[in-house]
Chain A
């Protein structure tokens, strides 16, 4: 530290005071500092001054304001304080002795104040208030939010404000930040059926999500290929339907994920996709799938869930009852996409059922019939449903408030217009299928999507509750998930959080490059945007 003249501060008495004044001069603001700001996603309003504050790892702490409704008994906050202390100071080498900063320039504390019932022990929900105000000044910065969820977002922003200057000192510009999300549903979809993802990998993803202010983990937990969810009610589903007995999520695993997510202000949205995409269900549950016929004989293969049997619905009712308790979120995703009608068409019993119901040969009606049964079931459990767009397209009579997720790229703006015109809330995924990789900087495309860019009234636009970046698992497992997801998903993260006007690609590139290095520093193997380097390269 001698190069900044701080050594002289050790002198006693008047000399010390003089020296301190001299040191103050040496500590004058550096103009380049504000250029180092690389907030991601960009807050609604961020004002910074050139005035610099310095933090000493040995003399900085997070604390509760006396007027805060939350205190040391709020585990969500206590854990967050510990995490963010480590993110800010932990990945760097530092020495004691920094606490020689002139007090006028030192930032010693971040004081957190929660104004309303903090919701420390609740789960985050679609209506959770994530807004916060952050005032960074010496010696005490303040972070104010209505609920803990806003504090979590504000802590992330606070940690992004702090950087190490060229002398290694932890530095922040004096700033005032007012922030809240543009959309309440900002999700990442992971697929643990095509490939199993170890719990550690999911937790790592939750960490990275919090760094990007995502708040929904859409867990596409089962599909044709495997059924890793271990059901308490129907253990055979995973016993027979998982890839192997070590490729299973136990109730304890699920609980771990849900709780880890809660501590980061992230909802876990489980998806149990049916009636299609269910081949793996058939292994552990007899008669749940439709037997396909070849000519007049069963061919030995199976199709979607069999919608004509009472046993199907009593099974589903028990399964979803369990799911609705295991997963605390208000929403359950019911899938409903890509149902192949060939097998139903081949099955004489199904045809007979259709005739009795007066469906003619319209299999969409059969699918609607099935979905309606499941939707009613969920609603009777006091839960709300999310479905893929086909369920709306096929004119199922959806219960008001059912959320429709748009995933098909063709004419998706039109689809948004129609669904919102019909009064249903909608989640956008179509332009954000991150599993379809391209050579080069494809994050720019994801970034340039404007979710409300469709024809519709303001009321319609309000029905867009957010979006999700999807990383389907056909070619993705724990070996490549993280670099494929980050920082490409970060582009979606900012689109869903920041103001509509935040669209400058050059500025985004500058900030995102630094943000990805920050993620690398925090142990996330986020891949590079382009040629260049990070001071601390990942060795993942």
Chain B
């Protein structure tokens, strides 16, 4: 159905080459005209509709109104002089917001409805949405519709938009283990995510390199596993702040605690947790993955994940499960004995499965759902049918397109990341490749396609810290954002380039250090501090 309206809307955009081309990601349906309305910053306001379920006091929207007011007119909006000139065009002095379903204090979830309609015509200037989350998306769109003439007057054109996301899970992964990211870097990223209508912050908190998450049950994890236990950590307060900051922007926080591999930094804080590797018949002094042969391990995991389940409100946790190296397990006589006892033979995948199944049972018991990396599926771990599998490997064991088919044909929900490893930089306009990925371009039934809940852009941290994070992320991640939000047919590169180049200048204007797509300039360049 969307096909015909979309072609229609694309044509319109071409015809009015004006303001609508500033939108990113492109809405599902848009009709806009040359007719424009003036907006006067001093008198303009966001208002709740009388019959809106959300009213003043709704934290999510109250704060959003404030944010968008600042973004549009600057915090100095009230210094704009009263207009004394005669008004030639009609004026819009408010955007009226009508939310149908009550609820301002809950957290966004995978099932949250983000639909909205935006109606700007002679009679009204109305943002209508089912939920506050939809209203947030609509406010962002509204902010992108407002433009400024060279003389400095603000305008918005007569516009009708009906919009909803193509996929419900639109994520961005940050890795705070390879390099620590200051809290402000994370919060700033959440802001830009909201500008791009991303709705999941996948927080790869810990890994081999460091353990910055400060656990109150096991404080030694951070004390001994962080780069610097005084400065390179996330306190409980930091985590709370991230979660609330994200919530206010309609973004879920999906916390990842990757095991049994990628856990070297856990070792110093929890003696006995990691497998001692052997060289010949002696411990070599090095350590491998989590030791799956000990009861203590599972007791630790029970306690630890109880904490995690409480700290992170999202229904889902990410349990990792990727890239488990079997060499160390193989070298360890205790593990070998355990394998024999369990009848696993030489199949270390069975050992891995044993560990992961036990862990999944623990986490399930806390009433949580989980996401895991594709190896868990590849290695045939028996998982609950509602497990979400994240596909990240481009070629191995099969091409990711094929992997998507396999995962969904087994009836699991899938998340796509393989083509969206943004840390892999190359020379030139590499956003195009990222943009042209079609997540459903695999062979499978409509039922299978329906199991693809979305995807994630991943910014792994080996070569990234707060010095280069922002320009590497933006506007490149925007290409993923549009792919996951907009209609499948929105894939014209020229149309995308025009809008994305414009959007990156808008990001600069909003203070985001987004790098250029090609030669050219922005009216407001990034200013060095």
CB distance from A149 to the nearest CB of B (A): 27
Check B521–A527 contact: CB distance below 8 A. Answer: no
CB distance from A469 to the nearest CB of B (A): 16
Q: Mark B507-529, 1 if CB is under 8 A from A, else 0.
A: 01000011111111101011111
Check B427–A195 contact: CB distance below 8 A. Answer: no
Residues on A with beta carbons closer than 8 Å to the beta carbon of B525: 196, 198, 247, 477-478
Among A243-300, those with CB < 8 Å from B are: 243-244, 246-247
Check A535–B231 contact: CB distance below 8 A. Answer: yes
Check B527–A478 contact: CB distance below 8 A. Answer: yes
Check A539–B184 contact: CB distance below 8 A. Answer: yes
Check B471–A531 contact: CB distance below 8 A. Answer: no
Q: Kindly specify which of A174-182, A359-367, A437-445, A452-460 makes contact with the partner chain.
A: A437-445
Check A201–B231 contact: CB distance below 8 A. Answer: no
The verdict on A539 contacting B182 (CB below 8 Å), with A195-B521, A530-B463, A533-B210 known, is yes
Which DSSP category, helix, strand, loop or mixed, fits chain B's interface? loop
Measured CB to CB, the nearest residue on chain B to A527 is B468
B178 contacts A by Cβ under 8 Å: yes
CB distance from A234 to the nearest CB of B (A): 21
Residues on A with beta carbons closer than 8 Å to the beta carbon of B428: 475
Measured CB to CB, the nearest residue on chain B to A201 is B528
Check A436–B427 contact: CB distance below 8 A. Answer: yes
Measured CB to CB, the nearest residue on chain B to A475 is B516
Measured CB to CB, the nearest residue on chain A to B175 is A531
Measured CB to CB, the nearest residue on chain A to B465 is A528
CB distance from B165 to the nearest CB of A (A): 28
Q: Which of A196, A204, A435, A440 contacts B528 (CB 8 A)?
A: A204
In the complex the two chains form, what is the Cα distance from A279 to B115 in whole Å? 48
CB distance from B195 to the nearest CB of A (A): 16
In the complex the two chains form, what is the Cα distance from A289 to B523 in whole Å? 28
Among B164-192, those with CB < 8 Å from A are: 178-180, 182, 184-185
Interface size on A, residues (CB 8 A): 45
Check A528–B516 contact: CB distance below 8 A. Answer: no
CB distance from B363 to the nearest CB of A (A): 28
Q: Which of B209, B472, B528 contacts A531 (CB 8 A)?
A: B209
A2 contacts B by Cβ under 8 Å: no
CB distance from A104 to the nearest CB of B (A): 33
Residues on B with beta carbons closer than 8 Å to the beta carbon of A473: 519
Q: Kindly specify which of B288-296, B385-393, B418-426 makes contact with the partner chain.
A: B418-426
Check A198–B527 contact: CB distance below 8 A. Answer: yes
Interface size on B, residues (CB 8 A): 46
Residues on B with beta carbons closer than 8 Å to the beta carbon of A382: none
Residues on B with beta carbons closer than 8 Å to the beta carbon of A438: 425-427
Check B182–A477 contact: CB distance below 8 A. Answer: no
In the complex the two chains form, what is the Cα distance from A282 to B447 in whole Å? 60
A525 contacts B by Cβ under 8 Å: yes
Q: Mark B384-403, 1 if CB is under 8 A from A, else 0.
A: 00000000000000000000
B303 contacts A by Cβ under 8 Å: no
In the complex the two chains form, what is the Cα distance from A530 to B426 in whole Å? 17
A52 contacts B by Cβ under 8 Å: no
A498 contacts B by Cβ under 8 Å: no
B90 contacts A by Cβ under 8 Å: no
Q: Which of A194, A439, A530, A540 contacts B423 (CB 8 A)?
A: A439
Check B425–A439 contact: CB distance below 8 A. Answer: yes
In the complex the two chains form, what is the Cα distance from A484 to B471 in whole Å? 10
In the complex the two chains form, what is the Cα distance from A347 to B329 in whole Å? 75
Q: Which of B228, B470, B519 contacts A225 (CB 8 A)?
A: B519
Among B480-529, those with CB < 8 Å from A are: 508, 513-521, 523, 525-529
Check B179–A533 contact: CB distance below 8 A. Answer: yes
Q: Mark A519-540, 1 if CB is under 8 A from B, else 0.
A: 0100001111111110101111
Check B466–A540 contact: CB distance below 8 A. Answer: yes
The verdict on A479 contacting B514 (CB below 8 Å), with A437-B426, A533-B232, A535-B228 known, is yes
Measured CB to CB, the nearest residue on chain A to B180 is A533
In the complex the two chains form, what is the Cα distance from A120 to B178 in whole Å? 46
Residues on A with beta carbons closer than 8 Å to the beta carbon of B429: 475
A483 contacts B by Cβ under 8 Å: yes
In the complex the two chains form, what is the Cα distance from A308 to B427 in whole Å? 38
Residues on A with beta carbons closer than 8 Å to the beta carbon of B424: 439
Q: Which of A196, A204, A437, A476 contacts B425 (CB 8 A)?
A: A437
The verdict on A483 contacting B521 (CB below 8 Å), with A439-B425, A533-B180 known, is no
In the complex the two chains form, what is the Cα distance from A476 to B227 in whole Å? 32
In the complex the two chains form, what is the Cα distance from A86 to B527 in whole Å? 23
Residues on B with beta carbons closer than 8 Å to the beta carbon of A526: 467
Check B427–A435 contact: CB distance below 8 A. Answer: yes
Q: Which of B182, B227, B463, B467 contacts A520 (CB 8 A)?
A: B467
Q: Which of B179, B464, B528 contacts A478 (CB 8 A)?
A: B528
Q: Which of A200, A225, A247, A535 contacts B527 (CB 8 A)?
A: A200
Check B462–A530 contact: CB distance below 8 A. Answer: yes
Q: Mark A138-177, 1 if CB is under 8 A from B, else 0.
A: 0000000000000000000000000000000000000000
B461 contacts A by Cβ under 8 Å: yes
In the complex the two chains form, what is the Cα distance from A477 to B520 in whole Å? 10
In the complex the two chains form, what is the Cα distance from A149 to B467 in whole Å? 31
The verdict on A537 contacting B519 (CB below 8 Å), with A204-B528, A475-B427, A480-B468 known, is no
Residues on A with beta carbons closer than 8 Å to the beta carbon of B461: 531
In the complex the two chains form, what is the Cα distance from A474 to B515 in whole Å? 11
Most chain B CB inside 10 Å of its own CB: which residue of A196, A474, A482 = A474
Q: Which of A201, A204, A540 contacts B467 (CB 8 A)?
A: A540
Measured CB to CB, the nearest residue on chain A to B428 is A475
CB distance from B148 to the nearest CB of A (A): 15
CB distance from A377 to the nearest CB of B (A): 30
Measured CB to CB, the nearest residue on chain B to A224 is B519
In the complex the two chains form, what is the Cα distance from A476 to B465 in whole Å? 18
Check B179–A531 contact: CB distance below 8 A. Answer: yes
Check B520–A243 contact: CB distance below 8 A. Answer: yes
CB distance from A520 to the nearest CB of B (A): 7
A226 contacts B by Cβ under 8 Å: yes
Check B519–A195 contact: CB distance below 8 A. Answer: yes
Residues on B with beta carbons closer than 8 Å to the beta carbon of A247: 521, 525
Residues on B with beta carbons closer than 8 Å to the beta carbon of A201: 528
Task: Give 24 pairs: A residue, B residue, CB < 8 Å, sorted on A.
Answer: A194-B519, A200-B527, A201-B528, A437-B425, A438-B426, A439-B423, A439-B424, A475-B427, A475-B515, A475-B516, A476-B516, A477-B515, A478-B527, A479-B508, A479-B513, A480-B513, A483-B471, A527-B467, A528-B179, A532-B227, A533-B228, A535-B228, A537-B180, A537-B465
**When A and B form their complex, which 9 residue pairs have the shortest distance between CB atoms, in order from nearest?**
A483-B468, A480-B471, A243-B521, A533-B227, A527-B468, A525-B467, A200-B528, A480-B515, A478-B526
B interface list, Cβ under 8 A from A: 178-180, 182, 184-185, 209-210, 227-228, 231-232, 423-429, 461-468, 470-472, 508, 513-521, 523, 525-529
Given contact pairs A537-B182, A537-B466, enumerate 19 new A-B contacts (beta carbons under 8 Å).
A195-B519, A195-B520, A439-B423, A474-B518, A475-B429, A475-B517, A475-B518, A477-B516, A479-B470, A480-B472, A480-B516, A527-B463, A527-B465, A528-B179, A531-B209, A532-B179, A533-B179, A533-B180, A537-B180
